[in-house]
Chain A
């Protein structure tokens, strides 16, 4: 703005001094105080450099457990829907691909959905795997003096790493670890086996029996998946009857809930599949809810195995160990073991009527008993793959909720979000 220089008056020098002093004071104060002014409170932000200290080992491993438990319940609900344990019951086109078995690599729900909602599974399982392996790496760099109970924490982290690998190998057609190359399920199962071995070794010295037994069941599962039935049976034989290792849930937050109960019984976004209705088997408790699902035109059937948002879901059980032993043994031994499970208290079902000399019949009985015994415990999808169970409904059948027809996908493909952003894997599909 222009001003007339004739008007410069007597207090100019005083004013100039004042102005310069004020300006200098402001500038000096501001410059000196910049760092202070830029300091902001971030009481809700936990930086990695703050967290990764030996004193935080317990909470880091607690995170390993929590991440796995969240991934596990997501996996049970979603993969149960891909398989024949659940069906879709909502007016959300994004979820239809899961039940319809038409999830393409570029669909985002199964690949990028996160804990706390229905559909996300690849990302939660990958995070669980990372958390566990990252904890192992940190614990390996710390000493027993720095971290009391370090061996138990290593055993626990290795256990959940092993089970995370199991879920990656069983649910996905291929997988990647730490942005590494694309791995086949067999390669992933081999990694799982190694983690379980580490867990067994680490749990032995401190005498952590629960972790050790869970790792034995896990290693047996990994070995079965690799066709090492004899070694698997050996591990399974070490698991005592009655052993159960659970994933624990609570209603305290969305991500700590039992998602099976939330998605089926609470929200009605999935319904118990017709294939599991009316079996009259206490191991497959399913009932008609008497109402529609989230999509009102779909009748809601609910599972009653998990009765609340806080119900635990078994990760490893003696029952699975027995089934592995039965699978490895075959013949009469298998049927005997299956009948022992059927006859136990609380189930009280009669013996199977199977010709023990017919391997195919024994195998079919085993598959059916696994379906019922391990109902909603994360096994059904991979059982349909390795036992080549017929798809239900069959591929090509009309999909009632949103049109189209059922596809033939059993495993979920490695998603494009992994391919595109992983420098060690090839180009995306489209």
Chain B
């Protein structure tokens, strides 16, 4: 099988790396240089700084004490290049043999010599890259405000990169959307790489805990933030052209921590915390109903009721994290090993997780011109998630009412069952074993040729379980369905693997004395394989049985999906005096999901940068760094696997008395002409360092046009195939600005103040929907439930009837409902049968066009840092289905009891059967106090008493306050599975968290 073949290839590559390690000759140490790198004013050691011998490609990385040592340096003097992400580069001439060099480096607002590895042909300095590259320094974030997940690391730190959470359950993971909607029908998730290897980026996986069939677990959650050195994010086609097909949504690359030459460091971190549903009694709305006997108004608040009863509805969850890491090495071999254990509990007994993760990075430099790097990461975890949305405790709590008879008293007013009945009966969890491994071989031939081969594999095994044991007598009071009472088990085993083979080489030659040429060629091969095995059983004969084999009736299923991409690229870059860089590139791809009638696709790219402040004539002293950049590039997005094929599905039945016989049914109409979506993007901007690098600004404008967008078009059922057909007919334009500002407002030995501001604004609109199959004229819109792709409007905007007015009759019934006629006037909303006759009008867009964050860091007495981050999203609309279900469906609001107190236009909606409902589309703009923390570095004198070399203590909190007019519980609650529809309906809100963290370094 391909899988095993690739694994063998991977093992062979790993073996090669290890054999190189074993066979490496000893490198004699003659003359050396060494010393320490510290921060400018505060003189704290800087770990992870790259110290290079200029012109040789050799160097070292500072250890956790900021120390470095480079052996075997030729000559009497040499020049060191010292670089660190976020700091200004320093060049220092030193005497060979000096081992006590002290190099202060100053935090830089803009660092153009920083090396970027994402979206480039080999590593490139930022000065030569024509697009913005967001870089998150994960180590720095973890020091000051430990993030529970990689998405928390990203949130608010990269303009244009939007984290879309959905639920606050422990183990739930968000979607990520970069630069707004890029597609109508295909995935919106960016590609994810770890150390150059493509890995699973699936979201909404796991047991179907959000009712109506969606999971909440994201594979991004498997990555331990403590293992991450930095994260690079490239945002669109202009930057991601070299990733070709599949890169329309941008690329996120996680770069894991590496060992540094120097003595071995051992770091131990312990985190303990709590999480809770803040102000729950006032955020879960009280329901109102009439006493059937007295007619009195009865109110019901499940939180207050259960609190008074001594059985609180929500508990305080616990957060535990233990991490140990070991790193060190020599010029020859460097290593980094880490291991973490997490154990978190949510606010329901049914929500908890444990996770063990380990990583090992090994770098070997057996020769001056060869580096071998191997990375291994493993994760084992089990995530138990509660039922949400259409079922479980949440639904019962949101839509219960004051009990008035024996049955409702037994339920204590909850909709279908009291919470403990759900917690006792239903068990949903995902168990995961994940392995990610890669080997990277870098080879240099002098200074003119470098090339790199990366081989890797990411293998994830999931067990997704929905388990309902045979019910006991108490639960049977509430769950009366015989199937439910007998118990069910649904288990889905999913094995997911990504294989990566990536080669690139660069020939670097001078053309003239001032012009340099860099020519790069590369080839990539990616293969995704997903195998799923499912079993379902109904009817356990006795309590205590939990496997499918123990059920009376069993069902099974098996599926295999494979997809592969082969691509080649060539890039030519001209470097003019290290100030102007002109780049042109071409990417050619083929993908197994393309239709039979479609083959190779080509994506071009051009870019230019100009570091204008380094021109001799530059005289604006207060602008000490200014890089102008412009780029145009294209990428694609492949169709879904097999969507080009006209297929039939195997089914059972079909012969007289022949249940179990093989039969077939129409499955997918296919489309032999199906091609990838193509997006072309122009990006212009600048990176500037101002006022002595105290202020840094990165500003970008982008304009992306998606053409041949794949639309999933409904089929006329009379044609004989169910569902929808993918066609390349759509167009989307998405444009916006992104601003990243960082400023060192005060920098003194005893007090420092740093601030950051990120902002982005996105405008997207549908430009093409193909032609109406009936008239042949261009389609104006396609309605999808309550949303619409409408020419000129943002993708999947809400379009529904808008009630403008109504009147009350003598019985308090709203009548004569008049709606917006979309022409500035009004028209009757409904006909005599109650069917809508008014046009649907624009009610808002689901994604926030404006988002950003503000953060401030205060450093006091070199040891104490106070930090706060507020992020915000503005201008989007969400669907408050809690409000709709409570008032329009179950009629448990004051609107229903006392309608004449309210606007008749509102009551006309509430009293309708759901046709009128614009009162539930509401502005979901918000600002959230996302992170606050206080971090204290303990004095060395205390630390040394316990044998440590460093210690820090951090108190941090998350999600403490939300400023919003949103009518629901939390503007960040909705179905995780939905790319566009934002519907809040009985989901867990984002939880407030408080975490203490202690880190000791030995």
Contacts and interface: CB of A to CB of B under 8 A. Distances in A.
A129 B553 CA distance: 31
Interface in B105-122: 122
A22 B714 CA distance: 50
A421 B773 contact: yes
Contacts of B124: 1
A30 B567 CA distance: 9
A253 B652 contact: yes
Interface stretch (B150-158, B275-283, B717-725): B717-725
Interface in B528-566: 553, 555, 558-564, 566
Contact of A3 (B447, B480, B723): B447
B90 interface: no
Contacts of B10: none
Nearest to A94: B914
Contact of B717 (A44, A62, A123): A123
B994 interface: no
B720 A66 contact: no
A422 B657 CA distance: 37
B104 to A, nearest CB: 27
Most buried by B among A7, A44, A70, A427: A44
B796 interface: no
B525 A30 contact: yes
B655 A46 contact: no
Contacts of B648: 46-48, 51, 63
Nearest to A69: B653
A12 to B, nearest CB: 6
Interface string B415-446: 01000000000000000000000000000011
A418 B656 CA distance: 32
Contacts of A112: 714, 717, 723
Nearest to B648: A46
Contact of B564 (A37, A70, A127): A37
A345 interface: no
A230 interface: no
A179 B718 contact: yes
B624 interface: no
A382 B839 CA distance: 34
B821 to A, nearest CB: 13
Interface string A73-112: 0000000000000000001010010001010100010011
A65 interface: yes
B717 A407 contact: no
Contacts of B292: none
Nearest to B483: A266
B936 interface: no
Interface string A110-126: 01101000000011001
A26 B658 CA distance: 54
B482 to A, nearest CB: 7
Interface string A229-252: 000000000000000000011111
B446 A7 contact: yes
B523 A59 contact: no
Given A1-B125, A421-B713, A19 B718 contact: no
Given A4-B55, A42-B562, A266-B483, A63 B718 contact: no
A390 interface: no
B231 to A, nearest CB: 22
B722 A26 contact: no
A138 B720 CA distance: 15
A91 B722 CA distance: 26
Interface stretch (B639-647, B700-708, B849-857): B639-647
Most buried by B among A37, A64, A254: A37
B674 to A, nearest CB: 14
A26 B891 CA distance: 69
Interface size class, chain A = 35 or more
Interface in B620-674: 641-642, 645-667, 670
A310 B659 contact: yes
Given A43-B560, A130-B720, A403-B889, A296 B651 contact: no
Interface stretch (B139-147, B324-332, B828-836): B828-836
Interface stretch (B175-183, B219-227, B500-508): B500-508
B562 A40 contact: yes
A46 B649 contact: yes
B451 interface: yes
Given A59-B663, A62-B662, A425 B591 contact: no
B665 A2 contact: no
Interface string B880-915: 000000001101000000000000000000011110
Contacts of A49: 646
B592 interface: yes
A27 interface: yes
Contact of B445 (A19, A40, A252, A268): A19
B30 interface: no
B503 A26 contact: yes
A267 interface: yes
Interface in B297-340: none
A131 B645 CA distance: 18
B558 A11 contact: no
B447 A8 contact: yes
Nearest to A309: B553
B125 A62 contact: no
A69 B654 contact: yes
Nearest to B121: A1
A335 B860 CA distance: 102
Contacts of B670: 48
Contacts of A37: 525, 527, 564, 566
A402 B720 contact: no
B379 interface: no
A97 to B, nearest CB: 8
A39 B450 CA distance: 31
B406 interface: no
Contacts of B592: 38-40
A191 interface: no
B719 A15 contact: no
A301 B546 CA distance: 31
B416 to A, nearest CB: 6
Contact of A255 (B451, B651, B891): B651
A148 interface: no
Given A11-B446, A12-B448, A253-B652, A30 B523 contact: yes
Most buried by A among B125, B553, B774: B774
A259 B558 CA distance: 24
A204 B824 CA distance: 68
Contacts of A65: 653-655, 663
A104 B555 CA distance: 35
Interface stretch (A170-178, A280-288, A336-344, A365-373): A170-178
Given A12-B448, A252-B659, A126 B664 contact: no
B509 interface: yes
B645 A47 contact: yes
B665 A67 contact: yes
B716 interface: yes
A45 B720 contact: no
Contacts of A64: 654
B420 to A, nearest CB: 17
A271 interface: no
B578 interface: yes
Contacts of A12: 445-446, 448
B647 A48 contact: yes
B508 A3 contact: yes
Given A112-B717, A126-B717, A23 B505 contact: yes
B24 interface: no
24 contacts: A1-B506, A2-B518, A3-B516, A11-B446, A23-B505, A23-B521, A38-B591, A42-B562, A44-B560, A47-B645, A59-B664, A60-B664, A63-B663, A65-B653, A65-B654, A65-B663, A112-B717, A112-B723, A123-B722, A127-B720, A177-B718, A179-B718, A250-B652, A430-B836
- Shortest beta-carbon contacts, A-B, top 9: A130-B720, A250-B659, A62-B654, A3-B447, A15-B445, A404-B913, A66-B654, A40-B562, A291-B480
